Amino acid sequence: MIADYHNNGFLPVRGLVDHVTAGRLRQQLDELLTVLSPTHPYWQKDIVPLSVLSPRRNPGIEAASLAAVPFIIGNLPVLLPGIFSAAIGEPVKTLATTLLGSNNIEFNFANVTRKPAHIGPNMAWHRDHPNQYICPRNADDFLRILIALDPVTPANGALQVIPGSHRNNEGDCKLMSQTDELVSLAMEPGDAIALHPSTCHGGPENRSDVDRNLVIVQISRAGVEYDYNEAELYTGVNMDAIRHAQTRRPGV
């Protein structure tokens, strides 16, 4: 398992979150979506609407129709506490500990990234290192874990990766995607993909009838140097302490 992650730059993990829990989390997301609109008190700070994406990311869809549709939902401790608990739960922690090769890890952030049915955008080819959120200087010091809340297929925008691309840091992901082998990663609710931050990834639009919602969690080795937004990091706090702090601090 560890060898596959290091060789390929990604690792699919079936049932990281059990099916029943994944269904419950999906329902919590639905409940939030029924009240989430631009007048919601957390909209400005914690929601990225689909309308901010370049038209290239959503061909054929009128941007004005996307202004009230959440693309990324942040602040999970407040907006989706059940999903946040899963994002920092034991299975995620164990997977990250194993793949990073360290018992001393830090939670960086988590969000829900959405490709709603019919209007879900594509993901341009990119690597997650460097990124503008919270970025450990050394790519090997962190990873992302993507957990499916819906069945994911190529039709509703499954993640695509270029195996081994994390070992070719200089390569342009878009160019490589035109020549290299691509793998499309289908998932069931609760399945996860661990992604090395240098792995080229992207994915098609969702024009199907099925929503595609992912929970994305970034975790690093503890105590490493960061290049961006270090202030946003729960610096020096281990995952158990974060879990404790977040349950005591609604509204943060």
- Within its chain, how far is the Cα of 159 from the centroid? 11
Distances in whole angstroms, Cα of residue 152 to Cα of each of 6, 66, 198: 24, 22, 23
Confirm or reject binding of residue 73 to ligand AKG (CB under 6 A).
Answer: no
Confirm or reject binding of residue 196 to ligand AKG (CB under 6 A).
Answer: no
CB of 160 to ligand AKG, least distance (A): 8
Structure-block tokens of residue 178: 């035109």
| Binding-site member from 73, 99, 123, 219 for ligand AKG (CB under 6 A) | 123
Instruction: Give all strands of the β-sheet with 160-161 in edge-to-edge order.
Output: 123-126, 201-203, 160-161, 183-184
Confirm or reject binding of residue 113 to ligand AKG (CB under 6 A).
Answer: yes
CB of 133 to ligand AKG, least distance (A): 9
The residues in 127-156 that bind ligand AKG, with binding defined as CB under 6 A, are: 128
Distance, in Å, from the CA atom of 236 to the CA atom of 104, rounded to the nearest integer, reads 10
Closer to ligand AKG at the Cβ: 5 or 125? Answer: 125
H helical segments located in the chain: 2-8, 19-35, 43-46, 76-79, 81-87, 90-100, 173-179, 239-248
Closer to ligand AKG at the Cβ: 25 or 247? Answer: 25
CB of 114 to ligand AKG, least distance (A): 8
Closer to ligand AKG at the Cβ: 208 or 238? Answer: 208
Confirm or reject binding of residue 216 to ligand AKG (CB under 6 A).
Answer: yes
Structure-block tokens of residue 194: 């661990």
15: left (phi over 0), alpha (psi -120 to 50) or beta: left
Closer to ligand AKG at the Cβ: 195 or 222? Answer: 195
| Binding-site member from 25, 79, 87, 159 for ligand AKG (CB under 6 A) | 159
Confirm or reject binding of residue 203 to ligand AKG (CB under 6 A).
Answer: yes
| Binding-site member from 26, 129, 196, 201 for ligand AKG (CB under 6 A) | 201
Distances in whole angstroms, Cα of residue 176 to Cα of each of 157, 160, 168, 195, 199: 19, 12, 10, 18, 11
DSSP state of 152: B
Confirm or reject binding of residue 12 to ligand AKG (CB under 6 A).
Answer: no
- Residue number of the CB closest to ligand AKG reads 113
CB of 128 to ligand AKG, least distance (A): 5
CB of 251 to ligand AKG, least distance (A): 26
CB of 203 to ligand AKG, least distance (A): 4
Number of residues that make up the chain = 252
Distance, in Å, from the CA atom of 241 to the CA atom of 238, rounded to the nearest integer, reads 5
Distance, in Å, from the CA atom of 160 to the CA atom of 141, rounded to the nearest integer, reads 23
Confirm or reject binding of residue 214 to ligand AKG (CB under 6 A).
Answer: yes
Where does this chain bind ligand AKG (CB under 6 A)? 113, 123, 128, 159, 201, 203, 214, 216
